[in-house]
Every structure is written in structure tokens, then in C-alpha cells.
Structure 1
Amino acid sequence: MDNSFSYGHASAPQWITAAQDCLAQLGGKPAGANLGFLYVTDDFADDLEDILDFFKARTAVAHWVGGVGVGICATGQEYLDEAAMAVMLAALPADAFRVLPGLTLSSPGLTAPDLAHVHGRPAQSGIVHGDPYTAGIPELIELLAGRVASGFLVGGLTSSRRRNLQIADTVGSGCLSGVLLADTVPIVSRLTQGVSPLGPQHEVTDCQRNILISLDGRPALDVFYEEIGEILARDLNRAAGYIFAGLPIPGSDTGDYLVRNLIGIDTGQKLIAIGEMLEPGMPLMFCRRDGMSAHQDMLRMLAELKRELRAPPRGGVYYSCLGRGAGLFGPDSVELKLIREQLGDFPLVGFFANGEISHDRLYGYTGVLTLFT
């Protein structure tokens, strides 16, 4: 196995116990290690600064990125609703990455020519983390993606029942941050969906902001009832968390679509409110949460990556929606074990996110797998 990446993961009631276990798995500081990835479950959110200081001191690695999730990922293992952490060290060319400090829409350097540069050269790609409660995160993602050479970012929004914290050399929140990579750090990335379409695409023919009034010239709720079936139509509470709106991405050659929650239904006026702004003429379809389809699409994504790889991955990061994991794939870390079964046993860390970032968009109910090749 390529030894330029090493990792460890552990669960324990006290953070110091888990951190020492991870450190033992790392085997000290690998030769040349200069970038760390650190993810902790929200049980350790209040301890994140101490945890980061521990790993900086014990590994002598100065540069770190990561964040907090209600669950975290490691090779073949997911930790949900327990105190746990996962850490990965990478040995990269010193001039091939730059930690990106927190950005907001009011950041003074947002329009600077060298915003997305790595040691004087345009960045090729980026791995980023965001705060779901920060205004303008989708706009920041699109702006930053437009500045990197490939137009491609990957990452996720933190998820926590305590503090939504992220790491960019220091612990912070309320921003978009991460690491920019030069073209000398090759990566490959793919996205897998966690829902499947119920029926055909429709055209939004009337709407107001995020309120869906009509589809294909018919009341939106009538179309919705037809597609979800009589049983769910009689009890709309059962549809909550199971039925979603899907917004196909124009021009996508992979059939990608953005999944957004249904956030309200007015049965009297036959209106549907969704978690996204709408415009007349947009395509829209209804989708359902579907474990079997998610499993099949996960295998499809992994097969595509396997065909593209010329050698085993050196390391990887995985960002999965907090609505996936055990709730969609079943217990015993099935989602993470699929990655290991199909691609091999390599260092992998990540977390269950409150929104997943791929290319220049913020997704939901997806998994985004990125491999260092």
C-alpha cells in the first residue's frame, strides 16, 4: 500500500483515549506528512480545539482541515450517535496545497485575483467544508468553484446537535473553508444519489419564490397525488422524509439532479413549498427515498471509479448525507463497507453532512467520494 497516506479511527467516551488510539494507528508521523484531515462526531464538538492541538503537537503536522458531523466515516466503518474521531495524514508536495481560511460573502479578499491560487499557481480543485447556518453558502461554493481551474470542489456542510465547527488550521465556524490542491495532486470524484424518481420530469408552469403552483399547466398538488399513490395521498404525514422534489441539472451528462425537501403543503389551494427557489420553465420531478436504488447507484458509482483507477487509491474522503448511512443502507456500516469491498482497503475518512458539495453545487441525500490517485 502507498505509505504517503495513513489514518486512524476510534470511539471512546473521553476524547484523549480516542485520540491516543488514533495516534497509535497512525504509527507516529509518516515520512513527509504535511496535511491532516480530522473529523469528529458532535459528542466531541466542544473538545475540538484540544483535539486539534493534540494532533498538531504529536504529529508535528501544522496544516489541518476537517469538521464535525453527527456521524463520521472511516475505511469500512461508520460511527453514528457515539463519541468518535477519524484522522488521516497525507504527504503531499509542499507547494501543491494551500489551506483556505474561512470565507463569507463579506470577506474582503473574495474578489482577489489570487483567491484560488496555490503558491502562485491556479488551484486545480478543492476540498471544502461549510456551515449550514451561514447565509450565502451555495453562492460561495459556486464562486470558489468558478475560480479553480477544473471548476470542481468536493466536501460537505457540518452537521451537529451542538456546535457546527470546521477546521482550517484553526477551529472556526460560520464560513466556507478547506484546502486547495494544485494539479500535482490528482484526484477523481463521483457522486451517488440516495433517492429515485417516482415519475417523469415535469415543467414548472407557475410558481412564486419556493412555492410550486402548477406543473405542466395543472395544479401542483394534483400531479403530486397521482405520483405518490392513494395510500400516501390520504396521509401526507407519512410522506414527510420519504418524498422529495428533484431538480434536474440542465446540461448534465450524468443525469444529476438536486434533491430538495418538501417543506409545506396547502391542500386548499393545492400548493407545495420546497426548499429551493423556483422559476417558470424549470424541470422538476418527485422522488422517493429508496434503499435498494441507493445501493444500486452506489455500486454504479464505485464501478465507474474502479474503471478509471490505474492503481489502488492512496487515500480518500467521503461525504455522505446524514439521511443515508444506517437509515438508508441498514446497520453494520454497509455504506462504507461497499466502498472497501469494491475499491480495496485504503485510508478513508469523512463525515455525514448536512449538505454535500460536488462540482459547484450543494446537493442533498447524496454521497460524494473523492480519491487521491
Structure 2
Amino acid sequence: MKLFPFGHATHPQWRMAAGLVLAQLRAQMSLPDFASQPRLALLYITDHYATQAQALLAHLREELPQVSDWAGTTGVGIAVNNAEYFDEPAMAVMLCDLPPEHYRVFSGAAPLPSNWTADAALVHADPATPDLAELVVEMAERTQQGYLFGGLTSSRTRSVQFALSGGDAAHGGVLEGGLSGVAFGPEVGWLSRVTQGCQPISPEREITEADQHVALQLANEPALETMLSDLQISLSEPQKAISVVRGTLVGLSPAGQAGVQRTGQLGSDVRVRHIVGLDPARQGLVIAEHLEPGMRLTFCRRNVQAARADLVRVCAEIREALEPEMLSIEAIHALSDDPLRAVPQPGQRIAGAVYVSCTGRGGPHFGGPSAELQIIRHALGDVPLVGFFAAGEIARHHLYGYTGVLTVFTQPTSPPTTP
């Protein structure tokens, strides 16, 4: 597996953007470090091109006949190595160098075969799909790792997804509604991490009484009263209280699981949700999530510094996981009679990456245009990367908000030579 060729461009006319992307892909495919005959393409477009999605995909397929399989979706913004295209016409394509037997493109029109074993899956989903959370869980259960990564289409026009396998073009490869994506077999190396964009501002408490979307008691105290105390506001000053509550979110954790780490950051399993209303009669808080007693809740706010620090952290975790496994001094001494045995184990390198971030995280939230993607490039290096800004992020079997999901495809590095 070699580096994944990728290209990206912006232009008011999609054909011009496609021409620029194709030129980049062809130039990279001629280089020795990049794959020359990849079969799987990931295609992300901004919603400016959504109404021309069918013609766009047909044109790319005609220009890249060796690429048989396509997957992707639409966002109000797309992500690439070191840059973001937000609220402008743009597209990005990455060609993945994977053997065809190691992956399967799927959609509602072409589900995964029941006899094919998936290790993990890249998933794109229409946010208007009924019972979406349950479908995500079901899809995760079909993978050996129980792990999905991806996000929900974000669009002001058509919520377009791309899913095409081989020559099966009955639906043209352009879909709306449901789930689609690529499932990967156990032979494909990957690493994935979730980064949160919020900072806890209160103690974490157990939800001790709830009624569907309403938290009634936190740690056996009235939920509304607890929130007012934590945020230091009063309903006697409604304008101030409304302003503060609108800027406050809640982080929810599964029952029996701490959501706030020792460092004070939100853990990767925390789902951030909006406070959508107050219930003064019952002293409750209305949350944009179905609540169950036993879940844990903390109040939080979006925070630029916390978001930057956590993104750096997950990039560092990925880099550490890719570093060669060095032997200890004791092991080197023990093997000193056989120098060949003391050679460090080869590590992994990144062949390509997919980054899905929340539409609320792009641009100014990280201090300036493309700052979020520049942090990733600084941490991981100049690696092929594509992705999009989503209406909700998918990781493991959860739907998230205000998060980033960074996934890298890995390949072994060549073992060190010995004299």
C-alpha cells in the first residue's frame, strides 16, 4: 500500500474544479511513492455542487476509469491537508490504495453482504433519516471492532451521498437518505481518535430522575436549580439568564462511566448536546437527547483553547502509536550477542487520512481560517487528507456534536537495514 493520491480545488464551475483535481491526482499517480492504480475513491463536495452531483461523479468516473468504487458525501465545508473550504464551491478526492477484496462500498441500495466480515467502516448518513441513532448502532455491531467513523451530511440544498461499487450504476452512484460508506476488512490498518471541542464548567453529576428529554434531578437535586447555581444566574434576570443558557451545552456520559478526565477535559465517549428548553414547573432541563437515569451530565462551553489542546493531544496519540517499538536498554544488552535480534521493530506510516469535523468548529473557532487543519498538518506532517464538516459526527457507535473524528490509514514502514 502506497500513499493515497489526493487533489482539491475551488471554482464557481464544477468542471473547472474537477480539472484541477484530476491534474493533481495524475501528477501524484506518476510519482514512485504514490499509488498508480488505486480502485477506491473518496469524494467530498461542498453543497454548492450538490445539484450537479450526478454529472460531477459521471465526469470523474469517465476521467478515472481505473477507479471502480466511489464513496463520499456533501458538506457546507470540506477539509483537506492544511486547508478548509467553507461556504464556497469546492471538491476533494482521495484515491485509496487498497486491494478490492479488503473493502466493500455499501448503501441502502447495495447493503453489505451478510457473509463479508468488516473490521470497521467509514459511514456517511442523512441527518433526516428516521431512527438514525439505532441504525448507527446496528451498523457498528456488524463490525468486529464495533467502530464506525464518519459523519452526517450537511447541506443547504440536496443531502447527497456517493456510493458506487464496480460497474453497478443502477442509481448512478448518487443517493439521498439513509447510510452509505465503505466497510474495511481486518487486513486494512487504521487508527482513529475523537477530539472534543468543549470545556467542562461544572462538576459531573448523575441524572437521578428523567422523563424522556427532560432531566428532572441531578444527584437527587432539582436539575434547573442545580444549573442556575452552577452558571451563577437567576430567572429573576431573564435576559442575562437566557444569554448564558444559550451559550451552555451539556456533556452526557453512559451510566457508570466518568465523562470528565483527570486533566479536566471531556472524555471521548462524551456526547455534547444542546439545552433546548427549561421546565420551571418541574424544575427540569430539556436536552436534545433521550435521557435515562444513571447517565452522567456536566455543563460545558465551547472553548477555543480546549479545542486546540485536545486536537493536538489526539494527533500526538496517533503519532505515538505509529512510532517504532524501541527495545529497552536491558533488552538490548540481553541481545547484544546477536545484533540482528536487537534491531527495533518497524513502525507504521500514514498512507492517507479522513477528518470529519463539526460545522460549528471550522474557521474562527480555532483562531482563523483553516487553523484546525493546520494544527493536524503540523502534528502529522504532509499526509494525504480529505474530509468534510458535518451536521453530526460518527465515532464508535455514537452520534456526536462539536467533535472532530480523525482516522488514518496505516502501512508498515520498511524494516531498518543492517550492515
Match of 1:242 among 233, 240, 247: 247
1:249/1:258 contact within 8 Å kept: no
Match of 1:91 among 76, 94, 97: 97
Match of 2:140 among 142, 145, 163: 145
Q: How does 1:1-373 map to 2 (within 5 A)?
A: 3-27=2-26, 30-60=35-65, 61-102=67-108, 113-114=114-115, 117=116, 122-169=117-164, 170-230=173-233, 234=238, 235-239=240-244, 242-250=247-255, 251=257, 255=267, 256-309=269-322, 310-373=347-410
Give CA-to-partner distance per residue, 1:224-243, whole Å, 9 cap, x none.
11222339975233235531
1:317/1:370 contact within 8 Å kept: yes
The percentage of aligned residue pairs carrying the same residue is: 42
Counterpart of 2:202 in 1: which secondary structure?
Answer: coil
Kindly state the Cα deviation for residue 192 of structure 1 after the two structures are TM-superposed: 0.3
1:36/1:90 contact within 8 Å kept: yes
Kindly state the Cα deviation for residue 266 of structure 1 after the two structures are TM-superposed: 3.1
Provide TM-score, normalisation by structure 1.
0.92
* 1:240 to 1:24, Cα distance in 2 relative to 1, 3 A: farther
Give CA-to-partner distance per residue, 1:327-365, whole Å, 9 cap, x none.
411222010001100000011000000111111111111
Q: Which deviates further from its counterpart, 69-78 or 233-242?
A: 233-242
Q: Number of residues paired by the alignment?
A: 361
Supply the distance in 2 between the matched residues of 1:164 and 1:99 (Cα, whole angstroms).
19
Supply the distance in 1 between the matched residues of 2:156 and 2:36 (Cα, whole angstroms).
37
1:32/1:92 contact within 8 Å kept: no
Supply the distance in 2 between the matched residues of 1:129 and 1:258 (Cα, whole angstroms).
18
Can you give the 5+ residue segments of structure 1 that lack an aligned partner in the other structure?
Answer: none
Counterpart of 2:101 in 1: which secondary structure?
Answer: coil
Kindly state the Cα deviation for residue 3 of structure 1 after the two structures are TM-superposed: 4.3
Counterpart of 2:349 in 1: which secondary structure?
Answer: coil
Supply the distance in 2 between the matched residues of 1:149 and 1:206 (Cα, whole angstroms).
35
Kindly state the Cα deviation for residue 269 of structure 1 after the two structures are TM-superposed: 4.2
Kindly state the Cα deviation for residue 293 of structure 1 after the two structures are TM-superposed: 0.7
Give CA-to-partner distance per residue, 1:235-282, whole Å, 9 cap, x none.
233235531111123557973311111111234543211111112222
The higher radius of gyration belongs to 2
Counterpart of 1:278 in 2: which secondary structure?
Answer: coil
Letter in 2 for 1:342: A
Supply the distance in 1 between the matched residues of 2:364 and 2:381 (Cα, whole angstroms).
24
1:248/1:258 contact within 8 Å kept: yes
Supply the distance in 1 between the matched residues of 2:286 and 2:158 (Cα, whole angstroms).
29
Q: State the superposition RMSD in angstroms.
A: 2.1
Counterpart of 1:230 in 2: which secondary structure?
Answer: coil
Give CA-to-partner distance per residue, 1:272-330, whole Å, 9 cap, x none.
11111112222111111111111111111111011001343110100001110114112
Provide TM-score, normalisation by structure 2.
0.82
2:82/2:376 contact within 8 Å kept: yes
Kindly state the Cα deviation for residue 214 of structure 1 after the two structures are TM-superposed: 1.7
Supply the distance in 1 between the matched residues of 2:190 and 2:60 (Cα, whole angstroms).
25
* 1:71 to 1:304, Cα distance in 2 relative to 1, 3 A: same
* 1:71 to 1:239, Cα distance in 2 relative to 1, 3 A: farther
1:188/1:305 contact within 8 Å kept: yes
Kindly state the Cα deviation for residue 203 of structure 1 after the two structures are TM-superposed: 1.7
Give CA-to-partner distance per residue, 1:107-138, whole Å, 9 cap, x none.
9x79x743xx2xxxx11111010000101111
2:362/2:369 contact within 8 Å kept: no
Letter in 2 for 1:163: R
Counterpart of 1:313 in 2: which secondary structure?
Answer: strand
Supply the distance in 1 between the matched residues of 2:320 and 2:215 (Cα, whole angstroms).
41
Kindly state the Cα deviation for residue 62 of structure 1 after the two structures are TM-superposed: 1.9
